[in-house]
Amino acid sequence: MEKALNPKQTMKRLWGYLKKDRLKLGFVTFFVLFATVASVIAPYLLSVAVDQFVGKEDMKPLLFLCIALVILYLLITFSRWITNYIMVRISEQSMYYLRTDLFQHLEKLDLSFFDQHKKGDLMSRFTNDITIIDDALSEAVIQIISSVLMLVGVTVIMFIMNPFLALATIVTVPIFFWIVVKIGVASGKYFMKQQDNLGKLNGVSEEMMTGMRVIKSYCKEDESVLEFEQYNNALREVSIKAELYSNLVIPANVAVNNIGYVLIIAVGSIMTVFGHATVGNILAFVTYADMFRRPINQLATLYASIQAALAGAERVFEVMDQPIEIVDVKEPISFDHVEGFVSLEHVHFGYTKNKPILKDINLEVSKGESVALVGPTGAGKTTIINLLTRFYDVSDGVIKIDGIDISKVKQKELRKKIGIVLQDTHLFKGTVKENIRYGNKFATELEVIEASKKAQAHQFIHRLPNGYDSIVEEEGSNFSEGERQLIAIARAILADPDILILDEATSNVDTRTELQINQGMKELMNGRTSFVIAHRLSTIRSADTILVLNHGEIIERGNHEQLLAQKGFYYDLYMSQFED
């Protein structure tokens, strides 16, 4: 989302990360101050050498002065190196804090935030934007401190040496500042658009990479390329404008500098004729003019990178400022043991206002009861699961477990009691064993194997080259969808939850594997309150209660035989699957 930069507030927040290393910043300031003072003194000593010792018979004073200048320049070089070294460490540490805060906030954000934002754009903020901030900070802090000190020091010593030459040196500065400000306002706007368009391009790229199978299946490669080109062209256009505006600073600076040198030489030559200046003064002021304009040039050059960094920082802080809507109460109720009684009382919910998904849902589930949710797509089946796990909060009504309002329980404590197997299985990089242990990191190897056997996963895992130590590639790409689902089911079994949720858990396996899984599921569901969502109605015939949902309302309820006997919506749905 484009918006105007707020540089003052953004810089204040970035400074909050930098100032955590106050001691190191103190060392940076000390070495920058030393280098600046030494740099200001050096031209003055050069002026003294030219006016007082050049052409004299006794060369010893000139020799000593030259040696002193060499040592001084070496010390300046060392000071600048140590300053850069310390500043890089400060910058990297600051980015460590920033990345940590951003990631921790992302982990706390509600699922609704991730539903509304593309993963590619979020990754762009996490990587590209923070890298740009890092690059700018490692240079900007040193340059700003040294530039300000250099400007003050050079100005003071120039007016002490010769006020008229000092005025001739700085008279062109206001012109240059005016140019820089004008260019900066224009470039800042485009740098913000550049970062925004880069995030959009990353989002589209990530979406296309994820959906490549679908793209190829429907022969949409050309359309995908065209869509990518649209975002790529938009990024190119704003990037060109941002760079063109920022690069105007350098030629403008060269022109103003050359005019300044002409003024110094002209004024200095006239003053020399009348005895108000010396050749050494002119030489020193030419050097001082370069030293005076150098920090201005550096700041002007940094302006573009600072603008880009501020744009990146604002995008990062935009995520960090996203409110966490689902929060724990200050004094939560303990949830040590769960029997499994679940009730939904007059529950209403909509993902957006004025678009209700669930309407006045009432449900009583006894301990150990299995409840199946069926109905057409969009009826509200998965929404009930999202509310039960508090991925979302109800708009109205209340959900209770063992008579306790789940909004009064800590989210982590609630979710530890609920085992979930989703339709879209996600496996993490690591071994098969580590992925199953995700349900219980303290489980022994025997417990992992036992859970896999119950999930009917042991047989195919055992046949892998390294068995349970086989590596899972990114997102489990080296396993079939059915195999990934079996591993996920084993993970849920190992977690040993009090309440079980199966959201299309057998949708990605063949009929034979489905029968094997159902055997394991019966054992897993035994004694546990279970919620099952299934489009294959054959998998939920043994459920204690079947709820038929349509348009966010429960329109039928009962067991399989009762619903078939009613010859209503469920009967039609069931017969449509088995009419052959």
Question: In terms of domains, do 290 and 405 share one?
Answer: no
Mean pLDDT in residue range 48-66: 70
Flag whether 455 is in a domain.
no
User: What range defines the domain where residue 410 resides?
Assistant: 339-414+541-580
Eight-class DSSP state of 377: T
In-domain check, residue 461:
no
Q: Are residues 361 and 310 in the same domain?
A: no
Burial degree of 362 (CB within 10 A; 0-12, 13-18, 19+): exposed
Q: What is the amino acid identity at position 185? A: V
Render 451-504 in DSSP notation, one character per residue. HHHHTT-HHHHHTSTTGGGPEE-GGGTTS-HHHHHHHHHHHHHHH--SEEEEES
574 is a domain residue:
yes
pTM greater than 0.85 (yes/no): no
Task: Report pLDDT digits (tens) over 551-576.
Answer: 899 999 999 999 999 999 988 888 88
Instruction: Specify whether 238 is located in the same domain as 347.
Output: no
Phi, psi of 330 (to 5 degrees): -65, -35
CATH number, domain of 11, equals 1.20.1560.10
Residues 360, 399, single domain; the answer is yes
pLDDT in tens, 382-439: 899 889 989 899 999 999 999 999 999 988 888 888 888 877 777 888 888 988 888 8
- pLDDT of residue 161 exceeding 90: no
Mean pLDDT for the stretch of residues 92-117? 85
What mean pLDDT value characterizes the chain?
81
- Is 36 among the domain residues? no
Establish if 367 belongs to a structural domain: yes
Sort residue 467 into left (φ over 0), alpha (ψ -120 to 50) or beta: left
Residues 94 and 215 in one domain: yes
Q: How far apart are CA 519 and CA 127, in angstroms?
A: 46
Let me know whether 346 and 299 are in one domain.
no
* Together in a domain, 243 and 107: yes
- Among the candidates 288, 320, 352, a domain finishes at 320
Average pLDDT (30-42) is 84
Task: Record the tokens describing residue 61, joined without a space.
Answer: 């004073």
- Domains: count for the chain: 2
Same-domain status, 291 and 187: yes
Say which residues have a Cβ less than 8 Å from residue 45's Cβ, sequence separation at least 6.
65, 68, 69, 72
How much is the pLDDT for 388?
92
Is residue 392 a part of any domain in this protein?
yes
In a shared domain, residues 238 and 343 = no
The mean pLDDT of 263-289, rounded to a whole number, is 77
Query: pLDDT value at position 1?
Result: 35
362 plus 300 within the same structural domain:
no
306 and 365: one domain? Answer: no
**pLDDT 10s digits, 172-210:** 777 777 777 777 677 777 877 887 888 788 777 777 776
Q: For residue 426, tell me if it sits in a domain.
A: no
Same domain, 364 and 277: no
Domain boundary (291, 320, 349) is at 320
Residue owning tokens 């990631």: 103
Residue 484 structure tokens: 């990934």
What pLDDT does residue 216 have? 66
We report the CATH number of the domain holding residue 382 as: 3.40.50.300
Last-in-domain residue among 292, 320, 348? 320
pLDDT given at position 4 = 39
pLDDT value at 580 more than 70: no
Residue 138 confidence (pLDDT): 75
